[in-house]
Every structure is written in C-alpha cells, then in structure tokens.
Chain A
Amino acid sequence: MTGAAYSRELVLGFYRTMFTIRTFETRCIGLYRQGLIRGYFHPYLGQEAIAAGVCAALREGDYITSTHRGHGHCIARGGDLKRMVAELFGRATGYCAGRGGSMHIAHITAGNLGANGIVGGGIPLGVGAALGAKIRGADSVTVVFCSDGASNNGVFAESLNLAAAWDLPLILMIENNQYAVSTPIEQAAREPDLYKRGAGYGVDSRLIDGNDVFEVHRCTLEAIETCRAGRGPVLIEAKTYRHLGHHVNDPGHYMPQERLNYYKARDPLTTCKTFLLKEGLAAEEDVQALEAEVQREIEEAVEFARASPQPSVEEFLAEVETY
C-alpha cells in the first residue's frame, strides 16, 4: 500500500470506524461486567478491519446481512450508537425496542438487514436481497458476512450455489477467525482454506488478510465491480482472529497464546494509525482529536441508553394479541 492511492478522508474514515467499534465494544463489555447489559454478547474485537473495509466500499442501496457477532457490521454500516447501546440495555429506544438485543440488531433503512442468532441463518436472506435487486433491475450489491463455523452449515453451500446459478450481485464475506466457539476450523474441516470452496461452484473466490483494512477495502471494491457487471457472486475469505473468547464470558483458554500474539501484533487499528502518521495523511493531534470525539459520542450513547425508558408492558401485551 502506498499513501498516494489513499485519500486522507478515506483512511481517517477507516480508522474512525475501527476505533468506534473497538471503543464501543470495550465500553459495553465494561457495562456488561456491571450487570447493565445481559444475555449474549459476542465481541468483534480484532476483526474491525473487515467490517470497516467492506462497508467503506458500499453505497446507499446496498445491503448487508450480519451475524451474532454483529456490532462491528452495524457500526460500519452507519449504525446509530445511541440506539445500539439502548438495545443492548433492552430499552424502548433501542433498534428493536428491547425485543431483539445484541443478536438481532437491524438497521433496515441503512441496508443492514440484521444480526442473526442462527449461525448461517442470514446467508439465504442476503441471497434474497440480491435476488430482489436483480429482479427490480436495481444496481445494488449485497454483502453477506459469515464466519468459518457458518461455512460448514448446509445453507452456506446451498446459497453459494443458488447465487451462482442466478448470477446474483452477492459478496459472501467469510471472516475466518478460525473458531466456531472453541472448535478450530482445522478440526471442523479437512481443508481450512475456505475460499477454495468457491471454485467448485464456479464462483470467483479470493483469500485476503482480514487484519489489513486496505486489502479488505480493495478486494471488496473489485468484488462490487464484478457484481455490478452482472458477474457475481464473489466469495472472499478474510483470515483473522478474535482478541477475546467466543462471548464475553468465555475466557478463550483454547486460543494458543502464540497465535493470539501473532494477530495482536497485526492489530488492524495499529497498522492503520501507523499508516496515517507515516504517510503524512494525519498528524498525531488529528488522530487524538478524532479519538476524543468518538469517545464523547460513545459516552453520549451510554447516557442516552441509561436515560431511556423500559419498553411499555401495555404496548407489548397489545402486540402479543396481534400474533
């Protein structure tokens, strides 16, 4: 990567998104420890470059489907931090009015069709969004985010084939963080390079470094071009690693320290920040100002959530009657 190819605005944008995800989650994990957030919380820490790089390449009218590990996708697709924290608190002002929680946050008007509590469950939804766009003749692309675990579910294979058979404008982005809960991909599949599965379906497939936001962004742009030219789908496997266990209460002892260190040494935020400074795209003070601004936004979001009302019981009971 060279500085000339990247504008200050774009790279600061990458950094801002990744820093927002990192700070949002770190702060919310703290709130979880205080008992203010309950239920499942699957941290995205360590994988920020993928959501940030992909979503920076998308435009209005494009769709994403997300997963149980979905906060990063939502933020990168323009999610409102206030409504996100409020949903994690289960409040009426949250994205799902307290009906969904972490695993079901969706921001449909921004093209985020939602996280999913079912591993692999969102993949066919993305196929459908791409199909609808094709039938309408809309110039829209859909990105399906999934991880290595989901790639072993039947709907992954079905959807890859279906999208290929119908030339759909779909990008299947496998965030290969190398674990499904505690099961390493090497144990769950003989072939741990998941991009290789695309070839058998006649699908253009790439392997990239998921910790490199520049590579993620570039590869997504190419895939989008392929899709908009009617030659989709595209399969991308981005290798990455979680910084924490599967969810906030999983210490992740099964993750070998060496490997974790290897990936932490390739922290996507550090790499991006170094690039910004080294290429002279921003000064240290600019970065600090950006970070302070993001931190302020997150504090405001937390305050908003704290001050938000609980969902109305009467409204809920009235809703129940409609089922």
Chain B
Amino acid sequence: MGAGATVQENARVIKYREALNEALREEMRRDPTVFLMGEGIAERGGSYKVTAGLLEEFGPERVRDTPIAEASFVGAGVGAAITGMRPVVEILFVDFALLALDQIGNQAAKYRFMTGGAGRVPMVLRTQGGVGNGLAAQHSQSLEALFYHIPGLKLVMPSTPCDAKGLLKSAIRDDGPVIFIEHKLLYMAEGAVTEEDYLIDLGVGDVKRVGNDVTLIAWSNMVPRSLAAAEAVAAEGIDVEVVDPRTLVPLDKELILESVRKTEHVLVVQEAPRRGGVASDIASIIQEEAFDYLDAPIQIVAGKNTPIPFNLELESLCVPREEDIVQAIRRVAGRV
C-alpha cells in the first residue's frame, strides 16, 4: 500500500514521536540493514524519546550512540549507505547540521550524480527544527531552504503523526539521501494512525482542509497553526483550503496548482526567515505556471529575517502567529 491519502481504518490516536518510533521499529524489523546512530539515542532513547526502546529490541550494533562529531558520523552514514546499509542518522538539532554540511551537501547529495548513477546513498538524516520555547538562536532555526537548494537531497517535513510515520517508512526505503526534519513542537501532537502497515510516497502532498476561497500552503508546524487560522476566518465566510506538501523535494506541484486553479487566491506560510526561503520559490512556481488563474497577488507570511531571540515574547514575534496568518488570509481574500 503506497498511497498518498491519509489512512483512517483501524486508527488509534498516538503522538507524533510515537508514530516515528513505530516507523523505525517496523523498518528495523523488516530490514536488517537499517540501523540508527546519533547522540543519546540508545540508552536514553533520544531527547524527544523517538528512539525509546529500540536499543532493547535491536541491540547496540544497530542502535548506536555517537560521539559529538556530526561531520564524521553523518559521513559514516553516507559511507555505510554506499556500501549496502540503510542508516538513519539523527542530528539532535537541525542547527547542528551546519557542522556536517560537507558530508550532506558535497558527499551525500552528489554521490549518485558524480558516479554517473553507479552509486546510491539510501540514508535518512533525521533531525528536528523550528522555534520551541526559549531555546534561542542556535537551537531554534528552520533551515530547510539550505537543503532545498542543494540538488540531490530529498526533503521531508511532516506535520502530523500519520504523515510522520508513513513518510519516515518511505524515506528509509528510498534510495535517498533524504533529509527528514521534524518539528520540536510537534512531538507531543496527537493524531489518528492506523494499525495497518502503510507508506506515504515522497512527493505526494495532502489537502489538510478543503476550501474554495484561498489556497494556503504550509508545512511542518505551520500546518496546525494555519488550520487554526482557517477555522478562525471560517466564521467570516472565508473558506480556506490548506495544502501541506509534506515533502518539499520532491514537491507536489500538481496538487498545489490544482488548488490554486480552484481558489485563485494564494497564501504561503513558512516558519523560516522570509529571505531566500522555500515559500518564495513556491510563490514563483505558482505565478509562472498559474498566473492566469490568480485573482490577487500571492501573499507570503514568513519568519522574520533574524536570529531567534531567547525572550519568549520576542521569540513569538519572529515566526508567524495565528493572528498573522488570519490577517494575511483576510488580505489575500480582499477582506480588509
């Protein structure tokens, strides 16, 4: 079963982190070449408990605590992947991926290409990003644009437990390399996840709320926030369609364009700083491929172009809040 749609049968309500844990457990049971490494993931089960209990089941060869040496253990993941393994490497915070950028951008991303297609890097780099609660400038970034920009990487940013599980399973089976960015505020989020084995294909987006007036494109933690905003404006008679691409590379352009052709009004919401962001690229794709359908300029609500401050009130000003999204919806719908 490799569908894109949300699976509802035999569903239980579980947390995002539990869904990720199930994905890892199932894939490790299925395929002995899948192994995990990262900081504090074994005994401790990871900072967000995503890998809890896996050491007990799979043992220390396949669930490894690494030294604090991001460049080399990410590179070791690449080397293991090239030679027949399917490593899932965890980087505690996406901010720390900057220490491993050579291995990600120059080695993993380009290996298949440089070897004329002879090599494969079936590695998943799991990491976690976004603003939390006062974690300050080096633990709060949304760096997806970096990976989005480098050809050769796939990029997954799930917003729900169901998506997180199905996408992680697909990412592990993919010939990669896949950057899989979770959101620190979503680990405790709950959602329905079927008991059945399922995959969600990379490159298949999902309409999280059907609507007719405005297409709102968002991913990761901006999805629940945008859904809340959509509910808030529903009372004013603005019917918002929330499209979650789920994977930014490959991007489900067709799903986005289909929605745009229907609503003729577009808002893109991203937590990352506005400058050089994925939202701008999505907006440019839409204006290039669906300009004739647009009834209003595309709006972007994005993070401010700033390092994230520690102070909670200042922090909250730096990424789109529900009220920012509400106002932007009104603007794009011509209701201001």
Quick check: A129 and B119 within 8 Å, CB to CB?
A: no
| Residues 92-131 of A at the B interface (beta carbon under 8 Å) | 94-100, 104, 106, 108-109, 113-114, 116-118, 121, 123-131
CA distance in complex: A132, B123 (Å) = 12
- Cβ of A133 < 8 Å from any Cβ of B? yes
8 extra interface residue pairs, beta carbon distance < 8 Å, beyond A116-B107, A166-B64:
A99-B116, A104-B114, A124-B76, A124-B107, A128-B83, A129-B83, A155-B72, A159-B75
Contacts of B62 in A (CB 8 A): 135
Quick check: A161 and B115 within 8 Å, CB to CB?
A: no
Interchain nearest-CB distance for B131 vs A (Å): 29
Quick check: A113 and B117 within 8 Å, CB to CB?
A: no
Contacts of A127 in B (CB 8 A): 72, 75-76, 79
Quick check: B77 and A128 within 8 Å, CB to CB?
A: yes
Interchain nearest-CB distance for B21 vs A (Å): 21
Quick check: A154 and B71 within 8 Å, CB to CB?
A: yes
Quick check: A129 and B79 within 8 Å, CB to CB?
A: yes
With known contacts A129-B82, A158-B67, A114–B73 Cβ distance under 8 A: no
CA distance in complex: A31, B151 (Å) = 33
A residues sitting closer than 8 Å to B (CB atoms) are: 63, 65, 94-100, 104, 106, 108-109, 113-114, 116-118, 121, 123-136, 154-155, 158-159, 161-162, 165-166, 319, 323
Q: Would you list the 4 A-B pairs with minimal beta carbon distance, nearest first?
A: A124-B75, A128-B79, A97-B116, A158-B72
28 pairs of residues in contact across A and B, judged by CB atoms under 8 Å: A63-B83, A65-B79, A94-B116, A99-B115, A99-B116, A108-B82, A108-B118, A109-B118, A113-B79, A113-B82, A114-B111, A117-B106, A118-B107, A121-B103, A127-B79, A128-B79, A128-B87, A131-B79, A132-B84, A132-B85, A135-B80, A155-B72, A158-B71, A158-B73, A159-B76, A165-B67, A319-B117, A323-B152
CA distance in complex: A130, B106 (Å) = 21
Query: Which of A116, A136, A166 sits near B84, CB closer than 8 Å?
Result: A136
CA distance in complex: A114, B82 (Å) = 11
- Considering the complex, give the chain B residue whose CB is closest to the CB of A168: B76
- Considering the complex, give the chain B residue whose CB is closest to the CB of A134: B61
Q: B76, B82, B107: which has the most chain A beta carbons within 10 Å?
A: B76
Count of B interface residues, CB-CB < 8 Å: 38
- Considering the complex, give the chain A residue whose CB is closest to the CB of B73: A162
- Cβ of B3 < 8 Å from any Cβ of A? no
Interchain nearest-CB distance for B88 vs A (Å): 13
Q: B75, B82, B84, B119: which has the most chain A beta carbons within 10 Å?
A: B75
CA distance in complex: A131, B113 (Å) = 24
Interface majority SS (helix, strand, loop, mixed), chain A? helix
- Considering the complex, give the chain A residue whose CB is closest to the CB of B77: A128
Contacts of B143 in A (CB 8 A): none
- Cβ of B74 < 8 Å from any Cβ of A? yes
Contacts of B102 in A (CB 8 A): 118, 121, 155
- Cβ of B93 < 8 Å from any Cβ of A? no
Contacts of A98 in B (CB 8 A): 116
Interchain nearest-CB distance for A281 vs B (Å): 36
Contacts of B71 in A (CB 8 A): 124, 154-155, 158
- Cβ of B332 < 8 Å from any Cβ of A? no
With known contacts A128-B77, A129-B83, A165-B67, A104–B72 Cβ distance under 8 A: no
Interchain nearest-CB distance for A40 vs B (Å): 14
Quick check: A162 and B103 within 8 Å, CB to CB?
A: no
Contacts of A162 in B (CB 8 A): 66-67, 69, 72-73, 76
- Cβ of B147 < 8 Å from any Cβ of A? no
Interchain nearest-CB distance for A93 vs B (Å): 10
